[in-house]
Chains A and B, each alone.
Chain A
Amino acid sequence: MSTVIRPTSPTAMPLRFAPPIGGVAGTSFKPEHLPAILEAGPRRGFFEVHAENYMGAGGPPHRALEAIRREHPLSLHGVCMSIGGPRPLDKAHLARFRGLVARYQPALVSEHLAWSTHETSFFNDLLPLPYTEATLACVCDHIDQVQEAIRRPLLLENPSTYVAFRESSMSETEFIRAVAERTGCGLLLDINNVFVSATNHGFSALDYLADFPLSRVGEIHLAGHAEQADDEGDLLLIDSHDGPVADAVWKLYEIVIGRRGAVPTLIEWDSRIPDWPILEAEATAAQAILDRRQSAVPAGERHAA
């Protein structure tokens, strides 16, 4: 037998929960930032990772994540569970996801209202789904399975979309509200996604946020987007995560925090990744908004939505 440094299999490890982290801002964790983060020492805030990047057996990715986790709360963000797809969940993938929750005891665990696998192909994108009674039942069934596996509520993220489905019979906010009520899951409100989808589909982001069940929001995402054009030459926003948060998204964020109170907030930055101080400055800006709200409201009222 080989001598394994860490003999406990993650899938056999007990699930323990990290304490809630309250109104702090965090960033995506990118391995190229590890030296700068470690050199600066522990900072207020949390780091979020894409779960799939840490599903290998061992090696440098786990060493980096362990180093981060020693000194900071962690958010585990699944990208590939295909919760919104019609196919049964991949049991092996679900077991790997549970294993990461057990091993790293994240403060936050989230996944997407989207799908990425069909038949035997993995498309590596967050693909949209129609909002119908049939897809609602399917999504709820999938979330039940995930929550059963990880023994805690999942935070489900609202998508950014570029197309709508003719067969949809309810709005996205109606759909998400019904999912949360039926499964007991929490919600990850991605405000950039709201802004992107509102622009792309011609609805009001403020109306969407007014309809969104804010009391269930356990995390907020902020990110940058890019601009393209649709068939008619009208503005089409792309959820690119490759730049700073747009001013309009910051304004929506302040409105949401004003209504919801301070919740953990993540700056997502996944491509054209800047040097650490630039990403950290975005988190500092979010933290300032959270802190203004937290100092303006007596402690006992902080979690009232």
Chain B
Amino acid sequence: MPPEANLSFAAAFAPALLDPARSTPSLVTGPNGKAAGRRYDVYRNNVTVSLIDALAAIYPAVQRITGTDFFRAMARFHVRSNPPASPLLFEYGRDFPDFIAQYEHAQAMPWLADVARIERAWLDAYHAADAVPLSPARLSAVAPDRLAGLVFIPHPAARCLRSGYAAVTIFAANRDNTTVTRIDASKPEDALITRPEFDVNVRRLPPGGAVFASRLISGRPLGDAAAAALEAASDFDIAANIAGLIEAGAFTSLADGDRS
């Protein structure tokens, strides 16, 4: 390999790409000594705009809620302070919901970060590995005395998110171009995100459902998950919740927790 000193061009070229306060790098030029300011700005623009576009593609409901100008201004701050680390743009923006949560001009929309978290989970589910969901018949075949120790193997796309706001309703109302009616944002909602085959599915979980689902997805036995769910909601319906999770495609198979 040649000495690093002869390859310093990238270190000189890169810093001003996302920093408008920096001047045009002196190593570049136009033809015949012409200035390179607006020429270099093409790269600045390509980088900044394409990364803002990437966030807009990942967070369409957030953009619809805030309006394009608000969203792009907010995204521009984030792109400049947190450019992607991976060349896979569908991995970008994991820290954008946290950025939204502390973004000064978004404080009037305290639920906006949770809507963004659902959108980020939606994209992860979309790209997750393919797997055949668990058949309900598999559970019926388990002997009653084994149920408490039963472990559910999560589908690669399954996610569970909790919100102190009506984030699922707000998400669902803003993912397409239908008219949004008035939503009471203060009602807490929890989301189950699955992709049993090719369509991502986002549904609202009943009280206790998120405690239950998140424990099962993280590999805790059914008995533990049910006890925690009953503590969270005394009228928690275990059978209905298991059936709902299986029907949504949250799991792929069963394992005997006692033996693992």
Contacts and interface: CB of A to CB of B under 8 A. Distances in A.
A230 B29 CA distance: 12
B253 interface: yes
B27 A165 contact: yes
B2 A231 contact: no
A202 B10 contact: no
A43 interface: no
Given A1-B153, A230-B34, A127 B43 contact: yes
A216 to B, nearest CB: 24
Nearest to B28: A163
A40 interface: no
Contact of B87 (A57, A117, A165): A117
B47 A123 contact: yes
A118 interface: yes
Interface stretch (A18-26, A84-92, A204-212, A293-301): A84-92
Given A3-B131, A57-B156, A85 B10 contact: yes
A115 B50 contact: no
A3 B43 contact: no
B131 A132 contact: no
B127 A162 contact: no
Nearest to B126: A59
Q: Taking chain B's interface residues, is the majority helix, strand, or loop, or is none over half, making it mixed?
A: mixed
Best-surrounded residue of A55, A59, A82, A230 (most CB of chain B within 10 A): A59
A231 B131 contact: no
Interface residues of A, number: 65
B38 A163 contact: no
Contacts of B252: 2-3
A56 B46 CA distance: 24
Interface in B7-42: 7-11, 13-14, 17-18, 27-32, 34-40, 42
A35 interface: no
Contacts, number: 187
Given A123-B83, A141-B1, A5 B39 contact: no
B202 to A, nearest CB: 15
A16 interface: no
A87 B2 CA distance: 12
Contacts of B157: 59
A58 B127 contact: yes
Contact of A122 (B29, B38, B87, B90): B87
A70 interface: no
A130 interface: yes
A164 B87 contact: no
B14 A119 contact: yes
A119 B15 CA distance: 10
A163 to B, nearest CB: 4
A53 B123 CA distance: 13
Contact of B39 (A62, A82, A163): A163
A225 B125 CA distance: 36
A163 B30 contact: yes
Interface string B111-141: 0000000000000011111111000000000
Contact of A232 (B35, B46, B128, B153): B35
B56 interface: no
Nearest to A134: B6
Contact of B30 (A52, A115, A203, A230): A230
Contact of A4 (B14, B51, B131): B131
B33 to A, nearest CB: 10
A32 interface: no
B137 to A, nearest CB: 14
Given A134-B7, A162-B42, A57 B129 contact: yes
A56 B126 CA distance: 9
A8 interface: no
12 contacts: A56-B128, A80-B88, A85-B10, A121-B14, A122-B86, A127-B13, A128-B28, A162-B39, A164-B29, A167-B27, A234-B34, A236-B42
Given A52-B88, A59-B127, A118-B11, 8 more contacts: A4-B130, A6-B130, A58-B130, A121-B14, A121-B85, A123-B18, A228-B38, A230-B30
10 closest Cβ pairs, A-B complex: A56-B127, A134-B6, A80-B87, A86-B7, A58-B130, A163-B28, A231-B35, A57-B129, A2-B252, A134-B2
